Structure 1
Amino acid sequence: MNVAGSTIAAEGFGAPGPANFQYPELFSVGGVDVTKPMVQLVLAAALISAFLIIAARGRSLVPGRLQFAGEGAYGFVRNSVGRDIIGSHDFQRFVPYLVALFFFVLVNNLFASIPFIQFPTFSRASMAYALAGLSWIVYNAVGIHKHGLLGYLKLQCVPSGVGPAMLPLLVPLEFFSNILVRPATLALRLFANMFAGHLLLILFATGGLYLISDYGGAIGYVSGAAAWILAIAISFLEMLVQFLQAYVFVLLNAMYIQGALADEH
């Protein structure tokens, strides 16, 4: 767990904050400073690719454990997200994107719970907004490809069954909501959950250390031990949140794609 920037000093406890999420560059490539979260993105892509390749190699009618895990995860995203949300007519061509997106977000979230890494990649806002930007490009491109630019904008910005007198008010609101705000809210949801959960873990871990090592006494030892027990409990809760945030991120992507393909707003 990253505790750089949190001060545990004799004069008082320094609460963790945004400084705990700032990492110095590890090395530089072509003048670009590479940080730990950037390495985690590449590591996640490599791990996912290796897992899927190995799981698909030597496929058999009676799957082994790895093949069973891969097929289960693929089937979950394909059926519960792709087919159920986008619809049976169009969903299949988006399954590779949705599966890759789910695994990518999930592994980067789970990095927060893996020893010696213990940092959720998407607790850095720039990472979350970049991924949401990719989603924005995908679902808008899908809608424009099907309906044309003007037809897509009409479907997204002009509600059906609304009188002409209300259009000057509703059209800008719909454009703002459906075109501009979606990627921001998509990224903010992922970033805020990963940031808050990791910050809470740092607080209980460093707070427990402060209570035991600096505060001392019976109260300090009991309170510090309780803080560490809570940190362990929160760690398990965070694993559930990490999975749910990956699922929600992919679910919303599927909903936006379905909305872009729909013939009515």
Structure 2
Amino acid sequence: MTIIMGILNVTPDSFSDGGRWDATDAAIERGLELRAQGAALVDVGGESTRPGAAKVDPDEERERVVPVVAALAQEGVAVSIDTMNAATALAAVEAGAQFVNDVSGGLADEGMARVVAESGVHFSVMHWRGGADVAAAYTDVVAEVRAELKTRVAELVVAGVDPAKIVLDPGFGFSKDAAHNWALLGHLDELASLGHGILVGASRKRFVGALLPEGAPMEDRDLPSAVIAALVARQGAWAVRVHDVPSTVLALGVAAAALEGRDA
């Protein structure tokens, strides 16, 4: 069964929601709302990874996210921390986060593997070639992403990370153009053959927006994002990371009903 990871950007410069939840109280309220809507995990992030985004000082990042993580964890919310900084990950785990979602797969901070290994939390390892601004260049995107993820997992295991706690993220939109993203979406089974759950983070990405009329509001990307969620659920994705939980819940319900009908 595919679960939903609801996105909670505690940032003033998010590409998708314009900093609507950058105040602590608003972010906590939003996190509780995401759970009520059906998110099994709430992914709290304090630094935007959109192309051209300014780096955030780790101290400031922790000031943004740790109070939110702690408050949500106290309310029984399963929390993921979205960070590339080991110190932020450690502080969030100590505050109650159960999952570390690192878009660099631990490559941006050499201390991340130790934090994950020693804390025993689950770890999302995204395919990363240095950030969203790095140019897309592949001969065979599926084969290359699979090979690079396999290598990264092996390095993390050597560093002490429990392979049973590793989830893989193909890194949609990071050093990939639209054709690369669609190819990866169509071949998730090849990535899953590495033996780890697959986290799909395609919600509201630029390649999804390209399907819509020019100038369409950001929220219009939620419908195609929900369709993607249904499609990857049929491929066995472990989780989908999304902005709009209600439409995703409905889409996953349709996908589940269709699978039940096929097996009837």
Give the TM-score, by structure 1 length: 0.26
Higher helix proportion: 1
Q: Which has the larger radius of gyration?
A: 1
Give the TM-score, by structure 2 length: 0.26
Higher strand proportion: 2
Structure with the larger RCO, 1 or 2 (CA within 8 Å, 6+ apart): 1
